[in-house]
Amino acid sequence: MGTNWRLLDTGSISAAHNMALDQVILNARSSNRVPNTVRFLQFSPHCVLVGYHQSVELEVEENYCREHGIEINRRITGGGNLYWDESQLGWEIYAPKNTPGIPRRLEDMYRLMCESVVAGLDRLGVKASFRPTNDIEVGGRKISGTGGTEMGDIFLYQGTLLTDFDVDTMLNALKLPIKKLEDKQVDSFKQRVICLKEVLGCLPPMKEIKAALAAGISEVLGITLEPGGLTEAEQTALERELIRFRSEDWIRGMRIIPQANDLRVAEYKTRGGLIRVSLRLDRNRQCIKSAFITGDFFAYPARSIMDLEAALKNSSCQPDDILKTVRQFFINHKVNIPGVEADDFCQALYLASGKAGDSSVDL
Amino acid sequence: MIVQKYAIPEDLFYDTHDFWIKVNGEEAVVGLTDYGQSNTGDILYLELSRGGEEFKQGDRFGSIESGKWVGNLTAPLSGVVLECNHEVASHPRKVNADAYGEGWLYRIKLSNPDELKSLMAAQEYGAWIAEQENSEEEIG
């Protein structure tokens, strides 16, 4: 790519400011008024963000957020609900879709973008890797989730980086597939994510983290980053867009697609132990929004269950499709769980999704 | 015809945003092509314009989400929405499963039929796909 890109660091600002800036920079780049841009962003106060097509009502514990001063807003990008505390770092990349070296096919593009952040983490001594579809993980545990959008020929790709993370607040602020579970299972859920502080034993200064990520992005994309600020036109546009991004119309969504968020749990006994499945289902669209699987079986490799959860996310909840997803996963990942077969997981998933009798629990 | 595993029915028009357009007098039915749905991946959400909405060629007339990516649906022709496919809005994976059939998106009334000249025939769209695929291979 070999060109100079702008490096923006917009510091800690409100959710509405950050969401409005996404739109402003995308507009500015789309009309060729600013160069390709990498932005670092942080939030203050802490906030919950839903994905562009999500419903706040279905994704956010609104009373908890109100009581704890947690802002709520909507991203212009896709994906699920997120909790951002003030210690997290966001990163964003704005460039044309036809930039030489950037794949047009989305899944290849995700990989390249995530690998640029993986290279940055490597400079901090963190051995991270890309996990399809679009996460970055350390030892099977998620450290960065990503998503994107486009305007005309310009894309915005963005991600989180968990630095020092307040998991308990996240669990309270979001509607997740673990409500009403036992403490042991909640602890297991917490093991699905990891932050920089936990990996490194201490948290490097934010300046150092940003420098490492910028270097990784520059290296992988083959670009030179030059620190810069918002243009006057972007500042003016920000003031204008803030009105929209603070409005209930934006936050609640004017045209939210009919969807649902049923939390279902089920247990299924096998020779190798008990499988517990907790699903968030969207019955309107017949898909599994997220899955959480625990039990007293032993899986090899140990990360198989977390990878299976990732494979099930946003997949169809039709029995035939569940069967296909799970069987394929077991083959591709060479999963070995003594006394538990791929079809046992299917049975547990059928129970939770209400496709096999009535023994699941509707919470 | 099939180009690089993607179906391209010969009786349709196409544009570079990967829409197919089936013209019937002053009306047209539009949807995402096989190549378009394959590039997009499993479609999770579709937000479609409502009946009666007017748009110009190139305007945003809906949004699509797959794998955390929100993309715009860009109108291939100017017109008015006569009908949107409610079934596919509720079950967007139908676009992946049957892009040229049950996965249709809009029935529209054309407001500027001259714009049909800007669209591609199947042969031309096939060549365009081959070009896109080759450039992907060069990136490697």
Going by C-beta distance under 8 Å and a sequence separation of 6 or more, which residues neighbour residue A268?
A274, A275, A277, A344, A347, A348, A351
Find the farthest-apart pair of alpha carbons in chain B and give their distance in angstroms, rounded.
44
B139 contacts on A by Cβ (under 8 Å): 100-103, 108
Both A225 and A277 in one domain: the answer is: no
**Locate tokens 């995402």: which residue?**
B32
Q: What is the C-alpha R_g of chain A?
A: 21
Q: Which two tokens stand for residue B88?
A: 């596919």
A363 vs A35, higher pLDDT: A35
Both A161 and A228 in one domain: the answer is: yes
Return phi, psi of residue A12, to 5°: -90, 115
Contact (Cβ atoms closer than 8 angstroms) between residue B34 and residue B6: yes
Question: How far apart (Å, rounded) are the C-alpha atoms in residues B9 and B22?
Answer: 10
Contact (Cβ atoms closer than 8 angstroms) between residue A322 and residue A352: no
Q: What SS3 state is found at B79?
A: strand
Is B92 an interface residue toward A (CB < 8 Å)?
A: yes
Q: Which residue among A76, A134, A255 sits closest to B67, beta carbon to beta carbon? A: A134
Q: What SS3 state is found at A128?
A: coil
Query: Mean pLDDT, to the nearest integer, of A299-318?
Result: 89
Both A205 and A333 in one domain: the answer is: no
Both A241 and A338 in one domain: the answer is: no
- Asked whether residue A257 is assigned to any structural domain, the reply reads no
Both A188 and A334 in one domain: the answer is: no
Q: Which residue among A76, A103, A314 sits closest to B44, beta carbon to beta carbon? A: A314
Q: What SS3 state is found at A148?
A: strand
pLDDT of residue A354: 82
Question: How far apart (Å, rounded) are the C-alpha atoms in residues A322 and A350?
Answer: 8
Among A257, A280, A313, pick the best mutation site for testing chain B contact (most B Cβ within 10 A): A257
Choose the weakest-confidence range: A331-335, B33-37, B130-134. Answer: B130-134
Element (H, E) at A189: helix A183-190
Q: List all residues of chain B from 17 to 36 with a beta carbon under 8 Å from chain A.
A: none
Both A172 and A115 in one domain: the answer is: yes
Query: Mean pLDDT, to the nearest integer, of B122-127?
Result: 96
Q: What is the pLDDT of residues A52-75, one digit of tens each?
A: 999 899 899 999 999 999 999 999
Strand A4-13, strand A224-227: pairing = parallel
pLDDT above 60 for A2: no
Domain of A74: which CATH number? 3.30.930.10
Q: How many CB atoms lie within 10 A of CB A299?
A: 20
Contact between A52 and B139 using a beta-carbon 8 Å cutoff: no
A180 vs A62, higher pLDDT: A62
A102 contacts on B by Cβ (under 8 Å): 139
Choose the weakest-confidence range: A110-124, A174-188, B66-80, B108-122. Answer: A174-188
Question: How far apart (Å, rounded) are the C-alpha atoms in residues A211 and B41?
Answer: 34
Q: A132 to chain B, minimum CA–CA distance in Å?
A: 10
Both A246 and A268 in one domain: the answer is: no
Return phi, psi of residue A38, to 5°: -115, 130
- Asked whether residue A292 is assigned to any structural domain, the reply reads yes
pLDDT of residue A250: 95
pLDDT of residue A355: 61
Return phi, psi of residue A48, to 5°: -115, 135
Question: Which of residues A191, A218, A252 is at a domain's end?
Answer: A252
pLDDT of residue A208: 97
At residue A236's C-alpha, the angle toward residues A232 and A241, to 5°, is: 140
Choose the weakest-confidence range: A64-78, A126-140, A208-222. Answer: A126-140
B46 contacts on A by Cβ (under 8 Å): 257
Going by C-beta distance under 8 Å and a sequence separation of 6 or more, which residues neighbour residue B70?
A51, A52, A53, A76, A77, A78, A147, A148, A149, A150, B63, B64
Cis (ω within 30 of 0) for the bond into A301? Answer: yes
pLDDT of residue A330: 94
Question: Which of residues A191, A223, A252 is at a domain's end?
Answer: A252
A51 contacts on B by Cβ (under 8 Å): 65, 68, 70
Domain count, chain A: 2
pLDDT above 60 for A357: no
DSSP state, A298?
A: -
Q: B42 to chain A, minimum CA–CA distance in Å?
A: 8
Q: A108 to chain B, minimum CA–CA distance in Å?
A: 9
Among A23, A285, A318, A320, pick the best mutation site for testing chain B contact (most B Cβ within 10 A): A285
A110 contacts on B by Cβ (under 8 Å): 67
Cis (ω within 30 of 0) for the bond into B92? Answer: no
Both A269 and A248 in one domain: the answer is: no
Both A287 and A240 in one domain: the answer is: no
Q: How many CB atoms lie within 10 A of CB A161?
A: 22
Both A345 and A308 in one domain: the answer is: yes
Q: Which two tokens stand for residue A190?
A: 């917490």
Both A273 and A204 in one domain: the answer is: no
Query: Mean pLDDT, to the nearest integer, of B18-41?
Result: 95
DSSP state, A339?
A: T
A23 contacts on B by Cβ (under 8 Å): none
Domain of A304: which CATH number? 3.30.390.50
Question: How far apart (Å, rounded) are the C-alpha atoms in residues A330 and A342?
Answer: 6
Choose the weakest-confidence range: A254-258, B96-100, B135-139. Answer: B135-139
Q: What is the pLDDT of residues A44-54, one digit of tens each?
A: 999 999 999 99
- Extents of the domains making up chain B: 2-127
* Identity at A322, one-letter amino acid code: I
Chain A contacts to B (CB-CB under 8 A):
51-53, 76-80, 100-108, 110, 133-134, 145-151, 255, 257-258, 284-287, 314-316
Question: Which of residues A252, A271, A303 is at a domain's end?
Answer: A252
Is B105 an interface residue toward A (CB < 8 Å)?
A: no
B5 contacts on A by Cβ (under 8 Å): none
Q: What SS3 state is found at A44?
A: coil
Question: How far apart (Å, rounded) are the C-alpha atoms in residues A11 and A42?
Answer: 6
Domain that holds residue A29: 4-252
Strand A47-50, strand A273-282: pairing = unpaired
pLDDT of residue A192: 87
Q: Which two tokens stand for residue A106?
A: 């989305």
CATH of domain B2-127: 2.40.50.100
Q: Which of A311, A157, A148 is nearest to B66 (CA)?
A: A148
pLDDT above 50 for A363: no
Q: Which of A266, A270, A328, A271 is nearest to A291 (CA)?
A: A266
pLDDT band with cut points at 50, 70 and 90 for residue A255: low
Both A87 and A214 in one domain: the answer is: yes
Query: Mean pLDDT, to the nearest integer, of A23-51?
Result: 97
